[in-house]
Structure 1
């Protein structure tokens, strides 16, 4: 019966997300018990968006109504506790300049309208049906295991950290932080520079000043006696990964300090950190380093946005029945 339903009443879905120099995409059927992914593709190079559009048009020839879903991966977005205009104003966010979505009548995710417009223009040849916030995706991932004790969660995509504190009550804190900005996608950096005047909030003003990596006291204990001179390719890559991990740690530490000391947030002691890595590029040593330096338990897991979005799409369909 499932195959017959696909033939006569197909509901199809194309999911994708930008992952550094590639676009990861998947096509599947929306069925009663979930999304059945049939094909996954990776598009590389400067024409990756064009290749995605070509595949989308090919799919439409067979399935004229194919839903399109993606992850909003821009830096100028966030989430706050509460769902009212007054809650936004408390964080100096102008409600007229952001798009918001309220989650479980408890907290909301938001993005600058300017940033959202830039994102949609980047994929102007596609008709987006679902645009998911990283904070919503992160919450959906950790929700089954949440307790009354708050936990710090991090969704990492090369160059960007989406940091949030959750408990069974909902969202306590969120922050978007950049790591090693030189490695960020050029298009993302251009959008932040061009659209800065129209943003509803200043991301940089929300961050605590970070010391350069070379000035972090703990580096001497963690970094081996190697330099960039006379290194072979593997050693140089290892050094770059180490420096990235330490910058990651420094940003994470700054975000924790912001949570503890900013009176805008509800406070409680954080005992655990859960890191979800989209790129699978964070070194495993970062877990040991966090546990040794911050005295917090830490876990590191890979995160598949395709899998996450497929679950959220089904939940969205069920909620509209």
Structure 2
């Protein structure tokens, strides 16, 4: 959105209501100078303030978008709008019944830099094809969100609800998802680079054809997760749960599994330069898997791992042997 365009629309709506910048500022509990900066295009109100502006100015939130086309039958007369505004400003009129409801707002194809959306609730709008840098969504309700062909860099989603969302064909880099709910969310065809998923909840989440690099999943809960192909490189999965998951044709490189319970899971794919330490295995199967230079240290119940039609290089084979694993079903790779 263009800052100048929004400023012009604020000024236009304010003048139609015949109210001053000072009166508008008073109703928003801000300074008249702040309103002046908006109207001159020197700054822009955040999304929460835009919601309040829409109510006070008697416009739909979409009025502030570039391609908004008003419907003639829905436009009130200037006199009626002035009266409503005066009553709102004087406190004589309550907010309309729909003031607390989610207004329709298309956030797609935008360029959002250093925006703060923290604490917003019921924010189900689509941000498709948007560029977001250093934005804050701390403690926000983003459930049901669609991110498609997005670039999201250095944003903070800590404590937010991103459940039942779809993240498709996007680039996510250096974002913070600490203590987020990502239940039943679909990640597909995306590049996820150096993101922090500490203590996040991935119950029922699906990963399909993603490339995941250098992410930290310490304390994260993976239950009922489905992984369909894709790659995991430099990932840390520590002190969480990895249970009842389906992993098919994934490639794991330089990935560490530390201090976690691994249960009711089938690994299908390739594990290279991976590390299992202080893990407990229960009903774990490696099937049609290839294990290369993969290290097992101080793990419990290696005997309970089943290997079916697997291949392993010499060093991995010896690690498993020293841990008293049942090597039946493993073919040694020879050079």
Q: TM-score range by the shorter chain?
A: under 0.3
Bigger CA radius of gyration: 2
Q: So what's the TM-score if we normalise by structure 1?
A: 0.21
Structure richer in helix, relative to its length: 1
